[in-house]
Amino acid sequence: MRNEMMYRPVVKPELVAFLRNEQKQLSGELGQIEKEANENEVPIIPHETVVFMQFLLGQIKPKQVLEIGTALGFSSSLMAQYVGEDGHVTTIDRFDVMIRKAKKTYKRLGLEDRVTLLEGQAADILPELTGPYDFIFMDSAKSKYIEFLPECLRLLKKGGVLMVDDIFQGGTILDPIEEIPRNRRTIHRKLKRFLDVINSHPDLTTSLVPLGDGIALITKEADEVIIEPAE
């Protein structure tokens, strides 16, 4: 018999509001920074993703963390709370306005020793890093996810977790390409290819989570993971 629950949208707007407003809020300065970013519409992870990340990092207890996409330094500051005295967060951003804001954030939170901000294009910086990282958070230009994936997997330790934000394109990722506006087709195709790869690769275990605009959690099951170029 058909299970009707399978055919209903899982995340109703009122449920999103519940996840966002009723789960534990951040206290202190970091909570203030989250509030200010949301008021000023700076794109930071939504609160349901904050809570999820706190839970996840509390379990994983990573020491070395890498982030692609710093913005004003909110999620990197959150992650810095989970790496301990001997851990470190490295984060990458290319946008000078955000870089200035992120530096202020780290100063405000006293995190200057625990976070390193690398300034420039991730495509240039990633090949220079050696890792390994226990946890990588990719939250940058969506069209680049497929291009950055091999570098992220090279830098991730075996058993480590790669978390990727905003993978559903506001839910349009399942729409046929003809229904996607022409100027969004490249990003649509590249994101679809990214999802195909992470969902089918034999050396990756992936779980897609419908929080925010969708999160992918990817674990690396082999020392070396090769991603074949698209035909």
Ligand X SMILES: C[S@@+](CC[C@H](N)C(=O)[O-])C[C@H]1O[C@@H](n2cnc3c(N)ncnc32)[C@H](O)[C@@H]1O
Q: Which of 75, 90, 105, 169 binds ligand X (CB under 6 A)?
A: 75
Stretch that binds ligand X, among 8-16, 38-46, 128-136, 177-185 (CB under 6 A): 38-46
Other Cβ atoms less than 10 A from the Cβ of 212: the count is 21
Give the tokens for residue 201.
Answer: 């690769």
Stretch that binds ligand X, among 13-21, 37-45, 180-188, 219-227 (CB under 6 A): 37-45
- Are the C-beta atoms of residues 126 and 115 closer than 8 Å to each other? no
The nearer residue to ligand X, 153 or 215, going by C-beta atoms, is: 215
Nearest to 140 by CA among 78, 190, 211, 199: 190
- Using CA atoms, how far residue 142 sits from 35, 164, 165, 206, in Å, is 25, 9, 9, 18
Does the footprint of ligand X cover residue 94 (CB under 6 A)?
Answer: yes
Smallest separation, CB 144 to ligand X (Å)? 5
Stretch that binds ligand X, among 70-78, 104-112, 173-181, 200-208 (CB under 6 A): 70-78
- Name the residue number minimizing CB distance to ligand X: 69
Does the footprint of ligand X cover residue 87 (CB under 6 A)?
Answer: no
All residues at 6 or more sequence positions from 26 whose CB lies less than 8 Å from its CB, including other chains: 34, 50, 78
Does the footprint of ligand X cover residue 65 (CB under 6 A)?
Answer: no
Nearest to 75 by CA among 56, 167, 132, 146: 56
Give the tokens for residue 146.
Answer: 């497929």
User: Residues interacting with ligand X, by CB under 6 A?
Assistant: 43-45, 69-71, 74-75, 92-95, 98, 121-122, 139-141, 144
Residue ranges for the binding site for S-adenosyl-L-methionine? Answer: 45, 75, 93, 139
